[in-house]
Structure 1
């Protein structure tokens, strides 16, 4: 399920890049959130028999939803200027950055290995992107903005995991996105895009919903420490999609960078799993 979810996420990014120059960002994201909310509402009604799921932490849900919208906007703007593979490479740094930031926020000492893994992850991303090869390197600030907002998004998501159900969290993120973007929509409303563009946009929105639902389902059967390494499969999926749809050249440096990012992320996940297991053993001792 996790591998299939990453394929859907790569499909989402590819579709967003395909329509990025034809459909305004606010309108594209509004359509995506409408479809996500509709999918979630149907699931909530079938599983819980109500239209609105319970939210024990409404304040955190709103904050998470705003971070979700911000990340999506940065992602859409990123895909106007960088390839799907390059964008995915930056975003795959998130787990390593989260582990270091959480340690800081918890006032814990960051182990030297964490810093090494962060450095390896950054090196891998630079190898994939090679900023000096871009004529407009400042555009890379968009994916970096997405990385920062997504980092805090995941930290808030982790805190909500013990409070509200994944389906509830997914529903309210989509609903808040619809509400926020509906306020801005009249200014950016446009129907000039072709039927093909709208079809691709709808396909991307469905892919996003399917990916999130599959990922939520996967977390019901396995812990994050087991699933996270599989999330890095999105990198080769995204690179392949960029080559297939946009004829984006793939060279040896791209594969080296992908390997470094996957290695750093996987080792970091295993390290976190071991630390939690050792802590649990001490509590039970």
Structure 2
């Protein structure tokens, strides 16, 4: 029996609203991550990036334990997919370590430009892993966005820095972390994912600390460490909720807006002024993201055309 057209229209409108909410959550998460990276770059000038990453997870885990305690959130620390959550934690820890190490040597906008390989990797692997095949139209837009990344990085011109490889490793870990996040949302709540990921991340990096530990110099440094944990925790909370409302290929292109936030924080905090190629590349990737947002208002994004 065919469903009434108005019923189909209502379902389609509800689906579009969910995806638009997911996109808004994704953009908010990118803003928090830009502030997180800016703070981490400042801290990495005083301490080893591995220590900065570990304290970020320690603070994150402590906040999660306070908020998601056995009385206010019973059962939140129990996961239905412990193996996948451990894998997510390892991937996220790798992402944090590689990213913090990269931004200790190169500008924020350079690091995030290389990290923009992540949407391409997510879109490519989400099909065979999650069955979420990207449409040809969206794939073309993602590729166009990637040309903007090439404008920023200008491969083949200038001196090569080893930190670019660290940024590339960050993109690879981030892509598989995003895919794993999409998978676990079907089994665990966002609160569970936030709690166990922070704990596993802190445990994974703890054995390295005796070799790199340096006591923070003053109260400001300690305050910034606390801030990194708060920004990371809330940012990933938004990220998980976004993935619970939309397929990974729909959300992947919107990591591009982080470049805008990185340009702003890099200029405000470190007086890093992007060149004309960086600005041109930023324009391309932002235009690609805005186009996809417009398409979300017209039709669902995962229809293969």
TM range (shorter): 0.7 to 0.9
Deviations 1:93-139 (A, max 9, x none): 32232112223447898765465345323321121122455533332
Equivalent pair of 1:83/1:242 in contact (CA under 8 Å):
yes
Q: Deviations over 1:194-236 (max 9, x none)?
A: 544333333222222232334455667x546886666543221
CA distance in 1, matches of 2:258, 2:132: 31
Of 101, 105, 109 in structure 1, the residue corresponding to residue 125 of structure 2 is: 101
The separation in 2 between residues aligned to 1:262 and 1:174, in whole angstroms, is 31
Give distance in 2, aligned partners of 1:157 and 1:134. Answer: 37
- Aligned to 1:13, what secondary structure does the other structure show? helix
Q: CA deviation at 1:258?
A: 1.5
Partner of 2:140: 116
In 2: Cα distance, 1:278 partner to 1:111 partner: 4
Give me the TM-score of the superposition, normalised by structure 1: 0.82
The Cα shift of 1:18 comes to 0.9
In 2, the alpha carbon distance for the partners of 1:265 and 1:26 equals: 32
Partner residue in 2 for 1:274:
300
Q: Give the Cα–Cα distance (whole angstroms) in 2 for the partners of residues 172 and 106 of structure 1.
A: 22
**Alignment partner, residue 18 of structure 1:** 42
1:92 maps to 2:116 = yes
Structure 1 unaligned segments of length 5 or more: list them: 280-285
Q: Is the 8 A contact 2:142 2:253 kept in 1?
A: no
Give the Cα separation in 1 of the matches to 2:215 and 2:184: 38
Residues 233-242 or 104-113, more deviating: 104-113
Q: C-alpha distance in 1, partners of 2:71/2:154?
A: 47
Distance 1:107 1:43, change over 3 A: closer
* Count of equivalent residues: 277
Q: In 2, are the aligned partners of 1:97 and 1:118 still within 8 Å (CA)?
A: no
TM-score (norm 2): 0.77
Find the aligned partners of 1:165 and 1:144 in 2 and give their Cα distance. 30
Secondary structure of the structure 2 residue equivalent to 1:63 = helix
Gaps of 5+ in 2: 1-23
Pick from 44, 58, 62 the counterpart of residue 68 of structure 2: 44
**TM-superposed deviation, 1:179:** 0.9
Once structures 1 and 2 are overlaid, which stretch shifts more, 225-234 or 16-25? 225-234
2:185 is the alignment partner of 1:143? no
Matched residues in 2 for 1:261 and 1:234: separation? 10
